[in-house]
Every structure is written in structure tokens, then in C-alpha cells.
Structure 1
């Protein structure tokens, strides 16, 4: 369950995971800092400001109550004293999501202020127009008299300016600055991760070139120590593969040369040893076996050197197919051609000819009838299909024959094979940046597709 959740929730790429982790850590640290600041710094500060303001209000209330009526009139006018509360005054400040901290600090200030003031001195907040606090006082308002002509003691409201500590504007800017710094840290981490991912991208491209049979240039090892170690190990592996490939090609070339020399001498000795007019059936059989040995040697050589060192150049695949089809027609094997318009493709001529010859020869040997070759252009690629009407192997069985030294059940009646034919075709196709596919043919039989990119090697 945990593994499924991690696969579902976590991003697919290492870059996205690192950036997400960095953003989460930065945001968590910022949230913790803000919580500590609000609880241990701002809250005591606001509560202390409310206590001081409550003391000021109580002192003012006592002063107004003790002020003579003549002086109270001017003082009440300056304080904008009113018997009725203005309609724009509210019990609590309105909520604003964009200024959530300011709303929180004002509410905290009002709660603290109400705790320090008597219960019969309510507080109201005015936001429309000027920002003011309305507080109901105990003393008589100026000009209020009872029936006997003395001052009445009815409560009245006065407006006082809001203390700076209740505004919350300074810390709000600090919070936005902190969030901006967090975003800047995330962007810096993103840039650092991109810098680290560049060698990994080069390593991926080099590995793909190696898997396609190419020899990439050595990777730079001047980056961070960990990346440099990986690049150095990859360069060492590439050199080892190239040395092994060279040793294998040299060994097979030597074996082929050393075996073909005695085979040639054996042919000559057999021809000279047989008296004139003798039965030649033995010679014919022996030469047939010698031909099989040479074909096997040639297949090993083709598999060992599939054209890596051959230079690729632009060419017309249709012209190469027509030439090969003409050669097979001269041997009595007719291929039906359906050649579409193809763009120029960069390919290795000898290797591509070997690929097409192997496919066409397999169609003749194992299919027998309905021989056909067709070509068509795809998006950024071209396709060559060689088909027959044989009832031999299925497409899935042919997929398994891509591995070296694998022979199908229909190969028992055909001698002289090594199980390398489709392996050679697969290696050449991959060398050109393409691939090999097997499809059922309309009307029966199978088709082997070779798909090559237009910008092939």
C-alpha cells in the first residue's frame, strides 16, 4: 500500500521530486517561523498594547467624569462624543482572506482590550472611512441635563485612533518577504538541480548510443565528485566494451581466415585426388558440406561486424530494394514490389544490403510463396516490409528468434543455419536507430517491418 501511494503521489522524475521536497521543506520552515513569531512575539506584544490602551481609556473615562461641565463641552466635541453609535461601527473587524494576519491581529487586540475594560464599556470597530475604535464611556455627555438642570449620567460613545500594534501592517510585509525568500530558495534549488541533471542527461544519451552499437565520445568528468565518478565509470565501461568488441571481431576474423585456408586446400586436394571418370557423388556431397561450413563462418562474421565502422550516407532505399529484387529475380525468385515515395535516409550501404538480403532470403526459404516488399513513409520515419504467404512461425515466435542462436521449429528441414539471421537484422536496424517488428499479413502469412528514422545514423 505504501509503495502504491508513493508511486501515485510522488512525481516521476528525480528533478520534480527534489524540487517538491525542497519547496515542502522551505514552506514548512517558513510556517514554523511564522507560528513561533505570532505566538511568542506578536501575541504578547498585542496583548501588552491592549492592556496599555485599556489603562488609557479608563483614565480618560475618569477624567471626563471629573471634568467641569464648561470644559467638558469642548473636550467632548474634540473627541466626537455621540449618544448613538454610528452604523458603520461593528463588533469585530471584517474578515479579509488577502489580509488574514491583519484580521487576526485586530481580533486579538479587541479580545484583549475587552478583557481589561469593564463589562459595561463595550468596544466597536469602524473600518469604513477612518479606522477608529468606538468606546462607550460612563461620564455624562456634554449638554446632557436632567429635568432639574443638572448634568445627566447617560453613557455616550467616543472615537479613539487605533494603536499601531493593532494594525498588523509591518509584520504582514515581513510575512510576504519570508514567502518571497522561500520562493527564491525554491528557484535556486531548481537551478542547482538542472545543473546536476545535465550530466545525467548526457549519460542517458551516451548509454542509448552504446545500446544502439555506436561509440560515443567520453563523458566530461569535471563536475561534482559523485557525477564525475559515475561518468568515469561509464567511460571505463565504454572502453572495456570497445576493447571486447575489437577482440571479438579480431578473433572471429582470425578464425574465419584460419579455417577457410584449409577448406580451400581441402577442396583442391579432393579435386586432385579423384581419378578422372570416377563417381563424383562423394565430391558433390563433400563440397556441399564445405559450402555449409563457409556459410556458417560468414554468418558469424556478419554478426560480429554489423557495420559499426561503416560510414553512413544519404541514400535511396527504394533503389537498393529494386536492385536486390532484380538479383533475386535472376535466380528465379520474384518479389512483388510496392514502393512508396520515401525521403532520403542516412544508412550504411553494405549493412543495409545485408539486412534486406537476410529478410528476403528468409522469406524465400521459410515462406516460399507470396513474396513481396513494400515501403512507405511515416511521421519522421520510413518503413520497409518484407512478407510472404508461408504458414510457418507466428509473430510471437519470430520475436523470440531475435536472440542469437535461436532457431524456429520450421528450421529443422533447412540445414546450414546458425540462428543468427534475425539477430543480425535486429543489430543492423538498431545500429541505424530503428527497430524490427513482426505483423500478420492481410490474407495470410507474415510481414517483417524495418522502421528507420529519417534522421538515421
Structure 2
């Protein structure tokens, strides 16, 4: 037996539970009203009507001959049951309760009438009871009006009112549940922004006590993380400053101690290693910051690609550009430039040939894409996503190893900061491709601008 599939959402579960409780309570109320209020009322009406019918039968049986004709006309006396008075209408949902009332009334009435006195209910046209009574010494079908208690619509009105109140209760529960769910939804959105590298605004704590406590704890956690991030940035800035100061002095000392041409090779090698140390320090600083505090500006992504491609062309590395139609949108220009530089430097370092940059936009999802690709040997085997982890490096085709392995980790963090992601893939026919997506949604831009203003 398969278990009942419950909704995954707490909101849906609560609403379903409230709806079920309202339905059960309404059904129970109507059942109690029907069996303990309405049924006894109908039975009492049937008992009273049975006394009235028996009395009428006795009077008609002893009526004078000259009065029998007038009584026959008055009660529509007939030898045979009228064909147009259908005794059993089709049972439908709309006439279910009315049929129930009629059946209870007829059953009770037959119990209190003589066994030879037949009773039929006319359901077509006017509601009437046909009784097989005496008129003189002969039996005739006579028509009697139906008591109001046997066919009134009071219960139907009660059912309609009950359904209306049930619907009102469901709508009210829905609105209350939405009000309760709003801080939970805000908490989930804030957690997603925090995981993507943004600093979410403080959550409101004026809701229900239990949810307010969660919001207070989340705000405290965000504050602690921001303080830890500021401390880390300050520590890295101090380390960078303290290391770069002696590096600068060392660079000057090497330059001053190599007056002759025979030491040029040593000076160049030393200067190269000093540049590497400085680049490694800068990578650590970039990874620590990742542009989270940079203000958002409206910019042209294609123009930024063209500028960087021109810079690389000046160094002898030509990138083939395929630029799609991109409208200016909000992003952090220095951070996005760092993304493009890291990817283009990786293409030069690991690919060297078939360098290309392609941009395009998906107007449905409001996302801009940048692909940096090459036709080199590609990445090492295994899961390409591991290359996005800090300190993971591919195999360089150059003479020296490439950096610290933080380049793609920096790209990933900046992409998430812009509502996107980094995707890596091996190219068909050889080579490697890195695709970065950047969200262009207006609401995302507004939140970024607010964050940048803070």
C-alpha cells in the first residue's frame, strides 16, 4: 500500500489541514442538526398529520349522500391514482435533503395509519399527499396539502449558510497562514542572499514570538558573519601591507646591487619571483573581498569585453570576439572585470590557442552570459567542478605554475554575487570553455543598489 503523498510546503499542509477540519466540523454539525433536530420535528409533524388523516377519513366515511359530491370535488377524489403525480423522483444532489425529509415523513405517517390506507406523495407540480380514504362506503384517492415541516427549505438555507461560513473560515485561515508564512519566506530569501555573498537587510522581528526569535537569531548570525568578514579583510590587508613593504625594499636592494650586465639574468629572475609573490598576495585579497562592498553601476558588458580583449592583444594574445545584443544593466564593474581577466588569463595560460570570447542574453530569464574558451588540451580528467574550489589548479602549458588556484573560486563567488553561476565544460573537438551568467533582473538590480549604498 502506497503512503499518502503529503504536500511538501508547510503553507499547503496547514491550509489543507484547516480545510479538512472545517469540512469535518460542518459535516458533523449538519449531521447532528439533521438527526437530533430536523428528524424529530418531521416525525412529530407526521404523527399529527396521521391523526388529522384518520379523523378526516372517519368524517368522509359518515358523510351524507348529498354532501359526498361536493366533498369529492373539494378533495379531487379519484378512483385511480393520477398518472401525472410521479411517486418517486430521481434522487440528485440538489434534492437529496428534500427527498430525505419526504421519506422520513412518509415512513412515519404509514406507521401511524391503518395498514390498508395507502399514501403517496405527489412530487410533480404542487406538493400534495394522496391518501386512499373512504368517501361514503367507497375508497377514493383524495389530495391533501403537505405540511410545511415536511418540505420546507429551512434546512437548505441552513446548509447554504453553513457552507458560506465554512468558506469564510477557509479564506480567513488562508490569509492568516499567509501572514505567518511571510517572515518565513523573508528568512529563506535572506538566507539565499547570504549564501550568494550578499549582505541581506535585517529581518523584521515584529511577527509571532517563535518566528521573531528565529529572525533575531538570524540577524545576530549575519552581524557576526559581517564582523568576522571585516576582521578577516582587515587582517589580510595588514598582512599584505606588512609583506609588501619588505618586498618593495627587497626589489630596490636587488636593483641597486646589480650594476653590471653579468647579473642581469639574476635580477630579472628575482624580479619575476617578486612579481609572483605580489600577484599571489593580490589573489588572496581578491578572494577575501570578491567585490561584495563594491557599488553597483549600469554598464556595458560588451564594451568591457572589448577593452580587455584589446589589452590582451597588446600583449600578443588575440581573442576572437562574438558579441551578442546586450542592453546595459547593473553590475559591479571592477568585480566583473576581475571575472573576465581571470578567465582570459586562464585561457592564455592553459589553452594558448583558439582563444575566444562570446556574449549573449536570454531575455526570458533576464540573464547575460559570457563564454571564454580556448582550443588547448583541455582540463585534466575528473569532475570539472572541483576546479572551482580554492587552491585547485589545472596543468599549465607555460614554464611556471599559474598562481594559487584561487582564480576560478573568485569567479564563482563574484558570479553568485550577481545572481549567476560559473559553468565549466570540455569543448567538442578539444579545448576548454568557462561560461559565467549574470542576472539582469530589475528587482535584483535594486537590491544590489541598496546593498551598494549601505
Aligned to 1:299: 283
Structure 1 residue 68 displacement after superposition = 2.8
Describe how 1:74-153 pairs up with structure 2 within 5 A: 74-137=70-133, 139-141=134-136, 153=137
Q: When the two structures are superposed, what TM-score results if normalisation uses the length of structure 1?
A: 0.90
User: Helix, strand or coil: the match of 2:4?
Assistant: helix
User: Helix, strand or coil: the match of 1:232?
Assistant: helix
Describe how 1:280-359 pairs up with structure 2 within 5 A: 281-359=265-343
| Deviating more after overlay: 18-27 vs 190-199 | 190-199
Structure 1 residue 168 displacement after superposition = 4.0
| Deviating more after overlay: 353-362 vs 68-77 | 68-77
Matched, 1:32 2:28: yes
Matched, 1:418 2:404: yes
Matched, 1:389 2:385: no
Given candidates 195, 209, 212, the residue that maps to 1:228 is: 212
Aligned to 1:208: 192
Change (3 A) 1:243 1:342: same
Aligned to 1:5: 4
Unaligned runs of 5+ in 2: 449-454
Alignment check: 8 A CA contact 1:91 1:123 kept: no
Change (3 A) 1:411 1:249: farther
Given candidates 346, 368, 389, the residue that maps to 1:362 is: 346
Measured in 2, the distance between the counterparts of 1:321 and 1:416 equals 22
Unaligned runs of 5+ in 1: 142-152
The total of aligned residue pairs comes to 441
Question: Which stretches of structure 1, 4 residues or longer, exceed 6 Å deviation after superposition?
Answer: none
Measured in 1, the distance between the counterparts of 2:261 and 2:346 equals 38
Alignment check: 8 A CA contact 1:249 1:304 kept: yes
Given candidates 178, 182, 189, the residue that maps to 2:173 is: 189
Change (3 A) 1:394 1:275: closer
Given candidates 56, 68, 73, the residue that maps to 1:60 is: 56
Aligned to 2:413: 427
Aligned to 1:45: 41
Q: Note the alpha carbon deviations across 1:287-333, whole angstroms, 9 max, x for none.
A: 33333222211110010111122111111112111111111111111
Q: When the two structures are superposed, what TM-score results if normalisation uses the length of structure 2?
A: 0.90
Aligned to 1:147: none
Measured in 2, the distance between the counterparts of 1:321 and 1:210 equals 29
Structure 1 residue 394 displacement after superposition = 6.3
Aligned to 1:260: 244
| Deviating more after overlay: 120-129 vs 437-446 | 437-446
Change (3 A) 1:419 1:12: same
Measured in 1, the distance between the counterparts of 2:359 and 2:329 equals 13
Alignment check: 8 A CA contact 2:308 2:341 kept: yes
Measured in 2, the distance between the counterparts of 1:132 and 1:412 equals 105
| Deviating more after overlay: 377-386 vs 273-282 | 273-282
Given candidates 363, 385, 390, the residue that maps to 1:399 is: 385
Alignment check: 8 A CA contact 1:267 1:287 kept: yes
Aligned to 1:454: 440
Measured in 2, the distance between the counterparts of 1:411 and 1:210 equals 37
Q: Note the alpha carbon deviations across 1:204-242, whole angstroms, 9 max, x for none.
A: 332222222222221221222122212211211111111
Measured in 2, the distance between the counterparts of 1:247 and 1:114 equals 93
